[in-house]
Amino acid sequence: MISVTNISKTFRVPVPVEGRWAAARALFSRARTDKEAVRDISFTIERGEFVGYIGPNGAGKSTTIKMLTGILHPTRGEVRVAGLSPHKHRTDVARRIGAVFGQRSQLWWDLPVRDSYDILAAMYKVPDRDKRERLARLTELLELDEFLLTPVRKLSLGQRMRADLAAALLHAPDVLFLDEPTIGLDVVAKKRIRTFLQALNRDFGVTVLLTTHDMDDIEQLCRRVMVINRGELAYDGSIEALRERIGLPTTVKVTFGGSFSVPDRWEEPFRLAERGDDYVTLECNRSLISTMEVLRAAGAWGDIADVHMEEPDFEDIIHRIY
Ligand SMILES: Nc1ncnc2c1ncn2[C@@H]1O[C@H](COP(=O)(O)OP(=O)(O)OP(=O)(O)O)[C@@H](O)[C@H]1O
To the nearest 10 degrees (0 to 180), the angle between helices 113-123 and 157-169 is 20
Question: Mean pLDDT per segment of 10 residues, for the chain of length 322 residues?
Answer: 95 79 75 89 96 91 92 94 90 91 88 95 93 94 93 93 94 94 88 92 94 87 92 91 78 94 93 95 87 93 94 75 72
Which residue's CA is minimally distant from atom 25 of ligand 1? Answer: 57
Cα separation, 306 vs 287, in Å, equals 23
Supply the pLDDT for residue 34.
Answer: 87
C-alpha 38 – ligand 1 centre gap (Å): 9
Cα separation, 90 vs 321, in Å, equals 35
**Could you count the other beta carbons within 10 Å of the beta carbon of residue 35?**
12
C-alpha 216 – ligand 1 centre gap (Å): 24
Q: Does residue 61 sit in helix, strand or coil?
A: helix
Question: 41, 57, 61, 183: which to mutate for ligand 1, most atoms within 8 A of CB?
Answer: 61
Q: What is the pLDDT of residues 271-300, one digit of tens each?
A: 999 999 999 999 998 778 888 999 999 999
Beta-bridge mates of residue 281: 253, 274
| Long-range contact set of residues 18-23: C-beta below 8 Å, sequence gap at least 24 | none
Nearest-atom index, ligand 1, CA of 56: 25
Supply the pLDDT for residue 314.
Answer: 73
C-alpha 193 – ligand 1 centre gap (Å): 26
Supply the pLDDT for residue 41.
Answer: 96
Supply the pLDDT for residue 213.
Answer: 86
Q: Is the pTM of this model over 0.90?
A: no
Which residue's CA is minimally distant from atom 16 of ligand 1? Answer: 60
Question: 11, 227, 322: which to mutate for ligand 1, most atoms within 8 A of CB?
Answer: 11
Nearest-atom index, ligand 1, CA of 55: 21
Which residue's CA is minimally distant from atom 28 of ligand 1? Answer: 58
Cα separation, 290 vs 244, in Å, equals 12
* Residue 86 CA: distances (Å) to CA of 63, 64, 179, 194, 258: 14, 12, 18, 27, 66
C-alpha 1 – ligand 1 centre gap (Å): 25
Residues with CB under 6 A from ligand 1: 11, 13, 35, 37, 55, 57-63
Domains and CATH numbers, the chain: 45-243 (3.40.50.300), 248-314 (3.30.70)
To the nearest 10 degrees (0 to 180), the angle between helices 239-246 and 314-321 is 60
Supply the pLDDT for residue 13.
Answer: 82
Q: Cα torsion at 85, 90, 96, 102 (round to 10°)?
A: 110
Which residue's CA is minimally distant from atom 2 of ligand 1? Answer: 11
